Chain A
């Protein structure tokens, strides 16, 4: 049973997140609707006469005032009707449905690989604080968080595709029937995404564990004569779970930025490369929908980080 205070606090956070999402949707709708040219003009192009333009606008509902169009768009978002792509007039929902699972697989594999490695690195460097290993790891993670994804990607291609010839430079996700083919298709995109995320997560994990290690109950355990590994694993770690889970969720939100670059460079058929194409073609319904999906994903991760921090910290429950 959760204490009443906690569930109330969590409900508050969820409410705030929904409200933020509404504001975000309004911002995105406003930015994409600011220019005078609209989808009807774009669809008709040079052949537009005032009459056909007005007719198409009425048909597409573009003659309505902005707030009506916003609410119509919003209810479409909620019910899954995202309109039609301006480029090939396929339903946006259909386009996204074919791409979103690919991106989720990529994100899932990245999380599965990066979380254990990052936690291990973070905990080890916290245990060996100030040692050569810790300082080396600090310098490495500090550098990696500031490296652009396309450098990691190009170096990975140079090593594994050009020099060693193990993998192909483009990700071929059509053939992932066998484990070997799956690994070949995902190795480089996942490797690239993992670099920045592992570095970020390891840094935050280290900070969380060190925070616990400096608490007085840990000092007590040390004075009692418990071995260092035991102090960390049975005393400090259970108390650091909350901050670590928080770090994991926040670090994973960097996926959203990284995946845009990685899907493009490896020609990976995910939703981020769909969005980049949509931006290049100025396909507004598709851009709006993709942006909302990314912003929702980001808000959900931040919300999870928030909620975990509340649940794990009894002092926040009051």
Chain B
């Protein structure tokens, strides 16, 4: 993206002024290098988002943004239902409520090192990953609907977890307003045997060491010390979310002209929030959020079982669970007025600052944990909602470094075995069903996580708390 075509607001904040059909400006976060590296398609896509009915404030682009579907990945936009605002299936994406949860283990690196290989093998054997894997549970129609309504709370009732977990999940583990009846039989069928599975692509389970602490107060509140071992799980609503995304994208694309909506890109398929289709999508999407929360809860249970085999006294307390592909109803202040808006975050996480009423009590004083995912060999990061006033990007932050090279380019440059061996040399164990999948996900195929984290920190989207370095990575 050519930064000279943007209006510079600061060294790490740029504005695309409204032109053509844009109803609001777009704000792009990142230094000149990061923004310069973004594809031109990101500018085109965020300009399209800014033209959608009922958009308020501005459309926002996170420092890790890249070319997506309709919305850029790393795009944030809010819509007011009273001003004809829309909800967009494309704006949430196929992997509804994809997210990251991080679990404290109470262990130190020195505890884990002696059994690292065995631990990696056990995690790989017990946590289904990749295409063709099956979960250990199959849901019948009644359980399916209960899961779609109950989220992580449902998983708890099935014995997967402890009550304290729910306080450490967005929406307390259960998204209200879910409508299992709005979810098609096809979507439910696709999910029947996929509960507790990681999926593939960039999804992973990683055992990590807290390598650096940037903010002692927040780190202490989060229970993090340098040298501690944590587990991070990155996955979403699996086949159910994919099918809901597929079906509603089609229905909204076909219905758009009748709803008076001009779609500059079919992938922006959307419907007015105040319409039967918009409401039905919201009900189905919220059910998919519950599916993702239940899925990560079950994987947490499987992880705990493996860890307690090697470390019988380990408790594995949940730090937090955040989703980064969602549309949520929230209060935000715009031009001095509180407004109830529908915030789309596509490849962006919520980042509530200190004192936000929706935060768990444990985080009220410091703000919400924000997780920035790495890529096998590279650091991940834990940040905290900064609480800047006015809040930037509807209290959102980035979610992980985007790709630098396509899967094809990565395959030309690396072999899976070579990546696994190089990482093993650095003390990082990779377990994956596919050598080609590892090559496609090679750390070098991704942008620099540290630069993305720095940009989020300096622009006030979130504040740095701790860096995590990988020890074991289970790839789907």
**Binding between chains A and B:** no
